[in-house]
Amino acid sequence: MTELYQRAKALFAEAMTQPETERADWLRVHCGEDTTLLAEVQSLLAHVAPNEPVADRGEKPPIIDG
């Protein structure tokens, strides 16, 4: 597992605890200037329905091949 994926996975989990309306700003703060990391986390978040935690869907977040 790459360092990028590990960081993206951790930020994804934390981002899911943030209110959806605040998530974009929260991500920008926590990803800083790392646009690759931001894109990876946004990609993970794009696969989750709004206000529906991953655990409730019975799915795992998509795996980033890298």
Residue 48: the pLDDT is: 80
Residue 64: the pLDDT is: 62
Q: For residues 59 and 33, what is the distance between their CA atoms, to the nearest angstrom?
A: 30
| DSSP code at position 55 | H
> Is the four-CA dihedral 25, 53, 3, 7 of positive or negative sign?
positive
pLDDT in tens, the chain (66 residues): 699 999 999 999 999 999 989 999 999 999 999 999 999 999 999 988 555 555 554 555 556 665
Residue 28: the pLDDT is: 94
Each domain of the chain, given as residue ranges in start order, spans: 3-57
pTM of structure: 0.69
